[in-house]
Amino acid sequence: MLFNSFDYLLFLPIVFITYWLLHKKHAWQNILLLVASYVFYAWWDWRFLSLIIYSSLVDYLIGKKIHKENLPQSKKRLLLLSLFSNLGLLAVFKYYNFFASSFSQLMLSVGWEVDSLTLNIILPVGISFYTFQTLSYTIDIYSGNIKPTNNLVSFFTYVSFFPQLVAGPIERAKNLIPQIESKRTFSIDYFKEGLLQIFIGLFRKIVIADNLGIYVDSIYSDVTIHNSTSLLLATIFYAFQIYFDFAGYSDIAIGSAKLFGFQFGKNFNAPYFSRSLTEFWRKWHISLSSWLRDYLYISLGGNRNGKIKMYRNLMITMLLGGLWHGSSWNFVIWGGIHGVFLAMEKFVFSKLNMKNFNFLGILYTFVVVLISWVFFRALSFSDSIFIMKKFVKFDFMAPFIGNINILAITFLMLLLGIGFDLLIKYFNVSLEKLGSKVSILTLSIFISVLILLTSLFYSTSENFIYFQF
Amino acid sequence: MHVFKKIFMLLLFIVIISYTIDKIVYFAISKMEEKVFTGQNVGKFNHFLEVKDSIDLVFIGSSRANHHFNPKMFSKHSFNMGLDGRNIAYFWTVIKMLPIDKKQDVVINIDPNNIFDSEYTGEDITALGYKYHKSEKIKEELERRNKINPLIKYYWCIGYNSKILGVIINYLRPKYNYKKYNGFDPIIVSETQKAIRDELFTKNTALDCEKEKQIKPNEIAISYLKLIAEYSKLNNKNLFVITTPIRNDKCKSDNKKLKEIMNSLSLNYYDFTDFFNQNRDPNLWKDNTHLSNLGADEFSEFLSGEVGE
C-alpha cells in the first residue's frame, strides 16, 4: 500500500480508530498492529509476507538462543547463522542477478562466453529495510546491548510495523520494542504532531518531488540528446527530488507512527545545508547512516586500528552502503565517491585540526553530492560518463523547457520547500515537534493551506524512490 | 478540554477551513478562467465553447489535427479543436458539446495508434477536470471511467490542478487576439528543427511490422468510437474520420484493420497516411508525424476539395 494512495487514506483512520478503541487491551493493540501491518504489505503482494515471517521467526529464535548461550563460540555461531539467513535472503532476491550478469560479462571480457545465468526474480518491497532491522536485533543481543523479547507478537510487530516496513526509517530494537511492550496512552500533542507531519510529508512527496520528477525523467530517459544546461538542471532537480521524496516518506512514516503513540527517530535534518560531507551523512537518511556506522564501520574496527585501516573501513562501509541501495555498479560508484571524499575530509580535518569547513563548505558539499547523484540516477554507467563529460565540456546553451507551466510550478514549489526548510533551520524548530507548538486553530489553518496547495499543484502519484531499494 | 473534544475540534476546523479556503480560491480562479480564451490548456476549449454554435465545420484530434488542418481553406465558419496529447475520450467529449440541432461537419483525425494502444484507458479526459463543477456533460464523461480524483467533490480546486499558472498568465496577458484565431497552429520549421529533422530522416527507422500483425483494438477506444458514430447520426453531424499523412509508414496491417473497424461502424473513413509518398520534399514535414506549414497547406487544400465534394 502506498502512503499517497486512497487505500491508505481509508486504511489509516480505520486502524487508528480500532486501535484506540482497544486502549485498555494493550496486547490486542499489538495484535491489531501486526495484522494491519501484514495487510499493508500484502496489498502489494501477499506471497512475500512469507519472507517477513521467516526473517522474523529466525531472528526471534536466534535472539533468544544467543542470550541463553554462555559460550562465546556458540554465541558467534548463532550470530553467523542469523547473518547468513538474513543476508542470504538479500543475496538471492536482490543481488543474485547482479552478480550473475557481472560474472557473465567478466567471462565475456576474457573471451569465454557463458549462457545467461540470470533468473526472473521479483525484488520484494522493503527487503533491505526489514533485513537490516532484524539483523540489528540479533547483533545487539550478541553485543549485550539489549535483551531479547519473550513476546512473539511484540517482535513480529517490531519487524513489520507498517509505517516503517517498506522504506524505513530503520528503527532499532532498543528504541521500538520497549515502546511496543509498554502501554501507550493517547496524547493530543502526538496526534497534532503526527497529523501535521503526515500532511507536510504528502506535500513534499506529491507536490515537490513528483513535479521535479517530471523534468528529471524527461532528461534522464535519453541523456544523449540534451545539452549541458538541461543535464545540470535535471541533476540539481534530482538532488531535491530524492530529498523531498524520501524526507516526505519519512515524515509520513514518523507522523503515522505518532498517531499510534510511537516515537521514531529523526531521519533527515536539512542535509543540503551541511558544511561538509561528514556533516551531510549525519543529516541524510540518519537511520541508515547510523546503522552503517554502528554495525558495519565500527564492526570492521572503525578508527581503532590506525589511520590506514580507518580509511579502508570507511571505503568498505560506503561501497557496501552504495550496494545496499541497489544491485548496480552505479550505486557502488556512488558509494565510492562518498567514501573517497569522506576519507579526504578526515585527512584534512585531522591535519588542520578543524571540525568543519566554513559556509563555503555548503557549496562544496552540494557539488560533491550532486556529482554522486549523477551515478545514482543515470540509467547506465555509460549515461553517467556521458553526463560527466557534458559537465566538463561546458557547452551551456538554453535548457530544455518542456511544459512551461509545469516547469514554473516546479520552481515555485521547490522554492517553497527550500524556504520552509530554511525557516525550520533558522528558528531552530523541530519539524517533529512543530504540531504541538501551535494552537488547534493555527494548526487547522496550516493544514488547510497545505491541502489547498496540494490540490492545485499535485503531480500524478508515483512510487516512492526508496521503494526500489 | 477533554482529549476527544480536542481531536474533534481539530478535525472539524480542518474540514471547515479547508473547505472554505478551497471554495474562495476556486471561485476566484473560476472567474478568471471564464475570461481566458488564449492558451492551449484552458483558453482554446473556452474559445471553442464560445464559437461552437456558430461554426459549420470543426476539426478534432491531437496535435496532428491541430497542425494539419487549416480551417481557412474550408470555411469561414470553422474551427480547429486539435490539441496536443488528446485522444479519443477527449474527441468524443468535444463532439458532445456541439449543439444537437445544428447541421455541422465534423472532421476527426484518428490514427491507428488511437485505436490499437492496449494501454489506453481514457485518461486524456482529465484535461477537462476544471469543468467538472460547471458542465454536466463533462462531469458525466469524467465519471464514465472514474478518471477524476474522487476528492474533487469536496475540494473543487483539484480541477484546476497544474492549470492555475496558465489561467493567471493568460488572464493578465492574453497571448494573442483570440477573435482572429481559428485554432490552427501551423508549424514553421526553425533552423534547429530542420537540422534535427534532416538527421532523423537520414536514419533508417525500421519499424517492427511483425508485432503489428497481432494488434488488438482497445475496447475503451472502440466504445468511444461507437459513441461518436451514434451521436453524430442522431444529431445532424456529418462525420468524416481521417488519418492524416505520416511519413514513411511501412506497416500497413494496422491501417487495414482500422479501415475494417470504420466500415463496420459505417463511418466515412479516409486514410491519407501515404498522401505525400510521391513527394519526397522534406520541407513538407517537421518530423515523421507532423507536417510543416507547407505540408499542412497542401494537404488542407486537397482535402477542402474532397470534403466539399
Contacts of B3 in chain A (CB under 8 A): 186, 188
Rounded to a whole number of angstroms, the CA Rg of chain B reads 22
Distance CA B130, CA B155 (A): 12
pLDDT surpasses 70 at A55: yes
Higher-pLDDT residue of B101, A168: B101
Q: How far is B161 from chain A (nearest CA, A)?
A: 4
Question: Quick one: closest CA in A to B9, which residue?
Answer: A440
**Does the distance separating the beta carbons of B18 and A443 come in below 8 Å?**
no
Phi, psi of B241 (to 5 degrees): -105, 130
Distance CA A8, CA A317 (A): 36
Instruction: Dump strand ranges (E) for chain B.
Output: 57-61, 78-82, 104-109, 237-243, 268-271
**Does the distance separating the beta carbons of A456 and B157 come in below 8 Å?**
yes
Rounded mean pLDDT, B177-191: 92
**Does the distance separating the beta carbons of B150 and A451 come in below 8 Å?**
no
Rounded mean pLDDT, B200-225: 76
Q: How far is A450 from chain B (nearest CA, A)?
A: 9
Q: What is the residue-averaged pLDDT of chain B? A: 90
Residue ranges per structural domain of chain B: 3-308
Rounded mean pLDDT, B96-119: 91
> What confidence tens digit (pLDDT) does each residue in A309-348 have?
999 999 999 999 999 898 889 999 999 999 999 999 988 8
**The residue to which cell 532476491 is assigned:** A93
Contact between residue A13 and residue B11 where contact means Cβ atoms under 8 Å apart: no
**Does the distance separating the beta carbons of B162 and A457 come in below 8 Å?**
yes
Judged by CB atoms within 8 Å, which residues 1-40 of B form the interface with A? 3, 6-7, 9-10, 13-14, 17-18, 21-22, 25
Question: 3-state DSSP: chain A helix, strand, coil percent, rounded to 5?
Answer: 75, 0, 25
**Residue B251: predicted pLDDT:** 81
Q: Does A457 touch chain B (CB under 8 A)?
A: yes
Which of A215, A438, A455 would best serve as a mutation to test chain B binding (most B beta carbons within 10 A)?
A455
Q: What spatial distance separates the first Cα and last Cα of chain B, rounded to whole Å?
A: 81
What b/e readout covers A87-123, taking b as 16+ CB neighbours within 10 angstroms? eebbeebbbbbbeeeeebeeeeeeeeeeeeeeeeeeb
Distance CA B23, CA B7 (A): 24
User: What fold, for B3-308?
Assistant: Rossmann fold (3.40.50)
Q: Which of A226, A285, A325, A338 is catalytic?
A: A325
pLDDT bracket for residue A250 (50, 70, 90)? very high
Whole-number percent of chain A with pLDDT over 70: 97
Question: Quick one: closest CA in A to B165, which residue?
Answer: A405
Q: What is the residue-averaged pLDDT of chain A? A: 90
- Alpha helix locations (H) across B35-83? 44-51, 63-68
Judged by CB atoms within 8 Å, which residues 182-241 of A form the interface with B? 186, 188, 191-192, 195
Q: How would you class A159 by CB atoms within 10 Å of its CB: exposed for 0-12, middle for 13-18, buried for 19 or more?
A: buried
Question: Quick one: closest CA in B to A448, which residue?
Answer: B18
> What confidence tens digit (pLDDT) does each residue in A87-123 have?
998 888 887 777 777 777 777 777 777 666 666 777 7
Instruction: Dump strand ranges (E) for A123-203.
Output: none
Question: Quick one: closest CA in A to B8, which residue?
Answer: A440
Assess whether A67 carries a catalytic annotation: no
> What confidence tens digit (pLDDT) does each residue in B7-46 have?
999 999 999 999 999 999 999 999 999 999 999 889 999 9
Q: Is A248 left (phi over 0), alpha (psi -120 to 50) or beta?
A: alpha
**Residue A290: predicted pLDDT:** 94
Contact between residue A222 and residue A352 where contact means Cβ atoms under 8 Å apart: no
